[in-house]
Amino acid sequence: MLLGLLLTTASYGQTAVKGKVTDVQGSGIAGASIRSHKSVKFFTSANDGSFSIEINFADDTLEFAAVGYLPQKVEVGTIDLSDLTVSLELDTRLIDEVEVVNTGYYSLPKERLTGSFEHIGEKELQRSASPTILGRLEGMVNGLQFDRSGQSRENVNGFSFRIRGLSTIESDRVPLIVWDGFPFEGRLEDINPENVQSVTVLKDAAASSIWGARAGNGVIVITSKSGAREQVALNYVGNTTVMNVPDLFYNPNRLEAPVVMDMQKSMFLKGRYQEQDQIQLPEYVELLIQHRDGLIDETEFARQQELLKGRDFRREATEHLYRKQVGQQHNVTISGGGKMSKFFLSGFYQDEAATVVGNDSRNLGFTANNQFNLFKGNEVSVNINYTSQRARENGLTFNELSNAVGGADIYSTLVLENSDFATVPRYGVRQTVIENAEALGLMDWSYSPLMDRALLDNQSNRNALLLQFGVKQQLLPNWSIQLRYQYGNNRAESQDVYDVDSYYVRDFRNRYMDPVTKQSPIPNGSIFQMDPVQKTTQGRVRLQSDFNKDFQWDGGLNLLVGAELSRSEQWMEPGSIVYNYDKELWTGNASLDFSKLYALWGGGMARIPSPVVSRRASSGRDVSYYGNMSYTHHKKYVVSGSLRWDGSNLFGVKANQKGTPLWSIGAAWTVSDERFFPKLDNGYLKIRATYGVAGNMDRSQSSYPTISYIVNSITNRTSASLGHPGNPLLRWEQVRMVNLGMDWQTGRLSGSIEPYWKKSSDLLGNVLMDPTTGTAIFSNYKMNYADMGTRGVDIKLAADVLKGSVDWTVSVLYSHVTNRVDNFVDNTIVNSDYYLATGRIPREGSSLDALYALPWHGLSPENGLPIIFVEGEPSSDYTSFYQGFDPLALLDAGVTVAPNFLHLQNQLQFKGFSLGGIIGMRWGHVFRRSSMYPGAELAYPGAEYHRDYTRRWQAPGDEQHTIVPASVEALNVNLLNTFKYSSALVEKADVIRLQQINVSYDVPTSWSSKAGVKRLSAFANLNNVGILWRANNERIDPDFPNADYPAPFQFTLGLRLQL
Amino acid sequence: MIKKYLKILTVCVATLTIQSCGLDFLDTKPVKNQQVPATLDDFLAILDHTSLNSFPSYLSMIGAEEFWVTDAGWNNFPLGVQHYQKNAYIWAKNVYEGASAQDWDIGHGRILACNIVLDGLEKYAEEKDKPLYRQIKGTALFHRARFLYNLAQIFAPPFIPNNESKYGLPFYLTSAIVEPTYRRSVRQTYEQILSDLLEADNFLPE
């Protein structure tokens, strides 16, 4: 950012010095500073390193320095002044660290920064094969924590993440993502990781006060590749990824067929099953009924019973519903530039056949990043980015088929012994009805998963376009101005075609079949359904002015001010449903009578569902004013400050609440440049501190009541529904942060230690208000109810263990972070169930991630049920115990997010061969596991099983070695919960995991050039390799405590070449 | 020199323009059909809302024994939000078991809507002779009385002249809730209902 300008002054008695400042290879260094000690003058070298200056004293000393180089002093008196060449040596301290950090608003050399930044370069990003850029950061950024405990059922590929813990309880806690200078609100999949040059993570107050209210949780700045001058390169990267089939046998919440059948038989004999047309019964129960009613004889019953006992639906599903996930990706880029321009063009294609048979996706993308220098001091950039994704979800999952709605049991099957497709029970219809369908005048009501899957036709499309235009102009040597504009346009839509033979249509027609007339208003044809289309457009404008000045007294000032406006519009266009749809001709009928009440086959009356006709639009407007300042003195002392005001078009708030100010101050001291610092090999020591205040606004809250107008689809009358009752005491959240840091290097070791403290106040949350106020029905009602303190430390240690023909670097990233809720507005209405069942309810003095549990006293030797005390006395009244348990007496059983996490990276380089890996460790946290809850198997529908059934208490004495209670005759929810939420089921979540292994080989240029290729390399990545050690003895993966199975192993093989 | 000053001037002007239009820029409503209730039409629209008027009061239906279920049906009643209804059917000693009851929550939620309307009408005091104002005020008062009456049927004992119970209902008469309310006696509860009805009578047309 420093301009090369020659400053000359004319005065008498001058000595002229001419020459060039170069590096050890002889290339000129632009913008090197030249200070004359005695004359107290200050100059800079030109773009080619040459200088021509005049000094007052012939015996002066000149000091030459440049960013990234070691300074050098030259005595004027002793040398040839007409052609002085000064060669500066590279400053090898922290040479592997980035020299210039990009915050998205500006770039500064690392020396001039006081805040906490992490930088990940292209090479490191390529070591991971994760499809999203964020996934590639796992294990590489100190303080960035990935949390998968929220992944449930079969959604195992997602994750949430935190930077330095939490700052808020209920407001948006996702860190801000900035892409090429503007906040990014699209999907992460729209950013092609191969097009990313670098990622900078901003972690502290100085960093987030640059980006404003949304950056209280940290900022991830993504910079795209932009080409290089005076060269052209063509690159291709292709890879193929294979992921294992999910392990359906991992889930402990299943029991084998013989055991389940025994339970169902025992329930049947006690008359627990209602035999009604609208309630589906398990297949085995239907068999028992047939046997009881004499419809089948003994031998047939025994034969079918044996058949069921031998089945396992998990095996069936694994064979027919899942497959190995295979994906391939191709990236082609052309980058280069001339003297006055550079460009980067890229196209990519990716397709993936997911682990669920029938689900697949295809992505296409195009990027063009161009930069021109139209005239001196000018820089124009035009960037275009477009991605298009098409996905099909025509698969069935195990979870879908076997949950309460699905109805399949563990002994169900997908394919019969004679290879015909089998049927499974489905919600709301009894097998006897299905068998008599024709006689009753109904359509075939059976559900055959494999047959139906072949008829599924769902498709969804997404398009995202991003255009950026920027102009930067140097107005004066120290002053530049820039104007940037970004336009984004997203569209997402999805549609389904339900075939006339599909279960959906047959079931639909049957439900609306009039029992008397045997007519159904639903036509006997396919149905086309288009979901509401979602469109988003956004525009952003930024005007910024940068001022940089280097002073004579060896000081440097960087100052910038700017303003930004942004506007975003979101629409949801109405969907449509077309009945009697002809798949060939695309004709159909949409004019059914949607207001008439039709008689339903199952009794009652209902209207035909009409498509969503409302058109929703929402607009967001944001305004920001910001300023940043940083002053460096003697290149050793830095002082920085920033101030920002963010406003938003919040609704229903008082005028002075439409915005929030943020500010920060910081200081840094490069101690190793001081004279008193001992001379060490590559010695470096810098200490820094920042303090900042940031605010957070919540769009869903308002001080005044708000209503929304709606039109009733049946009466056509307009009315207004109350959206928010209004909270006149509403205040915005505030976060204060203190961050200290020490960066050091000596010899081959380097590292940093960064302790930090955050204090969040006036946090908004949905505290339970007295329902008498009438606000209990507003689930979005929040009050300022708590403060929270977060504190932690990030420690980094890196070592170049070997350097030479074999390079071996090791780095350890360790973080410790905890949070605690303070000043929680007391609430006496909340009962223990709220803390135990819902989670994330704050309690004063505890962490927000706390897991609460009931105390456990073992099982009773008499009946094998949990021992409880009510008012100090042993009791068996589980209802009074559970309902009356004082929330303050709940045990704080630990935290669900690891307070300690460590990543160990090893990277070996030998000739062209590179091998490395990351091991991740998390400890200090817990998770709640499931078990066989007493009476859970008796619920119908919704029976729950667990392999712990075999460990249950069965006879006195068993309480010595088991915690699983005896089975009961009747389901008592309070007894069930007493065991479910007890501390006995809380397990340690400590784990050591081999997260990633990367291997690559760069073919020597002598070989590759024979093929006409400049660079050729092959690489392989392994992800989710496996758990090396876990603390719990239940074979549960602690990183996926709530999911049906952990993310499967993934293997990627690829090729990279440059022409 | 002039060029330099011209440049500085254009930048300053541009910055000031952005600054002044910036704050007006924030006046756009985020959602088109969203409104802070301010006009009389807004208040009428709140009262017209169907879900306000047609909440099926589960406990009254169960308590009035309008239907019966089989043992198996009762046993298999789903757990969850409606669990209190299962207990209500058998007139269990502890109906709610610590959970909230929709009848209470929605019952009072409806009263809140009436209070918001009544509080909002105060700004229109000068219109108190116009028909629209009178219609809204009368309707709001009537509804509030009706909603309170419905709650009293479920949650309060009947009014017995010589044996009055002091366990009536707690309720709010304003939407600006700044302090907790208290439980009235049965007499006070019905007195409120009556006074709302009589006042409504003054405002509603014949």
A565, B34: Cβ pair inside 8 Å?
Answer: no
Is A127 or A14 the better-scoring residue by pLDDT?
Answer: A127
Separation between Cα atoms, residue A799 and residue A808, nearest integer Å: 8
Q: Residues 448..477 of A with a Cβ closer than 8 Å to B: which? A: 475-476
Mean pLDDT across chain A: 86
Alpha-carbon distance of A1051 to A383, in angstroms, equals: 33
Question: How does residue A51 score in pLDDT terms, banded at 50, 70 and 90?
Answer: confident
Q: What is the distance between the alpha carbons of residues A582 and A362, in angstroms, rounded to a whole number?
A: 27
Whether A660 has its CB under 8 Å from any CB of chain B: the answer is: no
Q: Does residue A1011 carry a pLDDT above 70?
A: yes
Determine the pLDDT at residue A55.
77
Cα–Cα distance measured from residue A603 to residue A618, given in angstroms and rounded to the nearest whole number: 41
Is B29 in CB contact (< 8 Å) with chain A?
A: yes
User: Quick one: pLDDT band at residue A11, thresholds 50, 70, 90?
Assistant: very low
pLDDT surpasses 70 at A341: yes
- For B35, the closest of A567, A709, A725 (CB atoms) is A709
Task: Classify A506 as helix, strand or coil.
Answer: helix
Q: A619, B30: Cβ pair inside 8 Å?
A: yes
The token pair that represents A808 in the structure block: 């071996």
Query: What pairing do the DSSP bridges indicate for beta strands A219-224 and A555-573?
Result: unpaired
Looking at residue A464, its pLDDT comes to 93
Q: Token pair for residue A513?
A: 């079949």
Question: Biggest alpha carbon distance in chain B?
Answer: 99
What integer pLDDT is reported at residue A252 of this predicted model? 92
Query: Which comes out higher in pLDDT, residue A740 or A519?
Result: A740
Q: Could you name the CATH architecture of B32-67+100-203?
A: Alpha Horseshoe (1.25)
- CB < 8 Å to A777, chain B: 105-106, 109
Asked if A721's CB is within 8 angstroms of B49's CB, the reply is: yes
Q: List residues bridging with A852 in a β-sheet.
A: A892
pLDDT of residue A90: 63
CA distance B148 to chain A (A): 11
What's phi and psi for A300, nearest 5 deg?
Answer: -65, -40
Q: Distance (Å, rounded) from C-alpha A869 to C-alpha A866?
A: 10
pLDDT above 70 covers a percentage of chain A that reads 94
User: B18 φ, ψ to 5°?
Assistant: -60, -40
DSSP A835: I
One-letter amino acid for residue A842 of the chain: P
- Of residues A205 and A960, more confidence is placed in A960
Q: What pLDDT shows up at residue B9? A: 65
Question: Does the bond joining A941 to the residue before it have cis omega, within 30 degrees of 0?
Answer: yes
Does residue A242 register a pLDDT over 90?
yes
Question: What value does the mean pLDDT take over residues A233-247?
Answer: 92
Q: End-to-end distance of chain B based on CA atoms, in angstroms? A: 83
Tokens of A237: 């990267």
Chain B residues closer than 8 Å to A621 by CB: 25-26, 28
Q: Judge contact between A938 and A970, C-beta under 8 A.
A: yes
What pLDDT is stored for residue A913 in this prediction? 92
Q: Do the chains contact at A777 and B109, CB–CB below 8 Å? A: yes
Residue type, A91: D
Question: How many CB atoms sit inside 10 A of residue A259's CB?
Answer: 16
CB interface of A with B, residues 869-928, below 8 Å: 879, 883-884
From the list A649, A707, A776, which residue is nearest B46 (CB)? Answer: A707
Flag if A475 and B14 touch (Cβ within 8 Å).
no
Is A519 an interface residue toward B (CB < 8 Å)? no
pLDDT at A9: 36
Rounded Cα distance between A57 and A72, Å, is 19
Contact A1055, A1021 (CB under 8 A): no
Under 8 Å CB-to-CB from B198, ≥6 apart: which residues?
none
- Which residues 41-100 of B are in CB contact (within 8 Å) with A? 42, 45-46, 48-51, 70, 72-73, 75-76, 78-79, 83, 94, 97-100
Which pLDDT tens digit goes with each residue over A789-840?
A: 999 999 999 999 988 889 999 999 999 999 999 888 766 667 788 888 876 6
Does residue A543 sit at the B interface (CB-CB below 8 Å)?
yes
**pLDDT tens digits, A88-127:** 876 554 444 456 777 777 777 776 778 888 888 888 888 8
This model of the complex carries an ipTM of 0.81
Which one of B25, B109, B113 has the shortest CB-CB distance to A565? B25
- CB-CB contact of A55 with A13 (8 Å): no
- Pairing relationship of beta strands A219-224 and A176-179 according to DSSP bridges: parallel
Query: What is the structure's pLDDT at A95?
Result: 41
Give the pLDDT mean for A517-524.
88
User: In terms of residues, how long is chain A?
Assistant: 1059
Whole-number Å distance between alpha carbons of A790 and A801: 35
A653: pLDDT strictly greater than 70: yes
Reduce the secondary structure of A406-475 to three states and give it as a string. CCCCCCCCCECCCCCECCCCCCCCCHHHHHCCCCCCCCCCCCCHHHHHHHCCEEEEEEEEEEEEEEEEEE
Beta pairing, strands A84-88 & A15-23: parallel
Examine the pLDDT at A1007 and tell me if it is beyond 60.
yes
**Residues 191-210 of chain A whose Cβ lies under 8 A from any Cβ of chain B:** none
pLDDT in tens, A259-286: 999 999 998 998 888 888 777 888 999 9
CA distances for A864 relative to A774, A821, A963, A978, angstroms: 44, 38, 9, 13
CB contact under 8 A, A563 and B175: no
Mean pLDDT of A1005-1012: 79
Question: So what's the pLDDT on residue A4?
Answer: 33
Question: How many residue pairs from chains A and B have C-beta atoms closer than 8 A?
Answer: 182
Beta-bridge partner residues of A1003: A1016
Question: Could you tell me the pLDDT band of residue A848, with boundaries at 50, 70 and 90?
Answer: confident
Look at strands A637-648 and A659-670 and give their pairing: antiparallel
d(CA A3, CA A478): 7
Nearest residue of chain B to residue A566 (CA atoms): B25
Q: Which two structure tokens, joined as six digits, stand for A849?
A: 């991630």
User: With an 8 Å Cβ cutoff, are B48 and A774 in contact?
Assistant: no
Q: Which of A617, A712, A774 sits opposite B109 (nearest CB)?
A: A774
B126 touches chain A (CB under 8 A): no
- For residue A493, list its beta bridge partners: A461
pLDDT tens digits for A387-431? 999 999 999 999 888 876 668 889 999 998 888 899 888 887 888
In Å, how far is A42's CA from the nearest CA of chain B? 24
User: CA A608 to CA A527: how far, in whole Å?
Assistant: 13
Quick one: which H or E segment has residue A47?
none
pLDDT class of A8 with cuts at 50, 70, 90 = very low
CA of B30, closest CA in chain A: separation in Å?
4
Indicate the residue of B36, B172, B175 with minimum beta-carbon distance to A706: B36
Model confidence, pTM: 0.83
Give the highest mean pLDDT range of A34-43, A149-158, A636-645: A636-645
- Tokens describing residue A685: 């020591």
Output the CA–CA distances (angstroms, integers) from residue A319 to A157, A811, A823, B104, in the order listed.
21, 43, 55, 51
User: What phi and psi, each to the nearest 5 degrees, are found at residue A698?
Assistant: -120, 110
| Chain A residues with CB-CB distance to B176 below 8 A | 728
The Cα diameter of chain A in Å comes to 124
- The C-alpha atoms of residue A570 and residue A161 are separated, in whole angstroms, by 26
Per-residue pLDDT of chain B (206 residues; tens, 9 = 90+): 566 666 666 656 665 665 555 667 777 777 777 778 888 888 888 888 866 677 777 888 888 888 888 877 787 776 666 778 888 888 888 788 767 778 888 888 889 889 989 988 888 877 777 888 888 999 999 999 999 999 998 889 988 888 888 888 999 998 877 777 888 899 999 999 999 999 999 888 87
Contact A879, B87 (CB under 8 A): no
- Structure tokens, A183: 């906040």
Q: Are A632 and A555 in contact (CB under 8 A)?
A: yes
Q: DSSP 3-state assignment of B123? A: helix
Report pLDDT for A13: 58
Residue of A nearest to B19 (CA): A563
For B78, residues 6+ apart whose C-beta sits below 8 A from its C-beta are A942
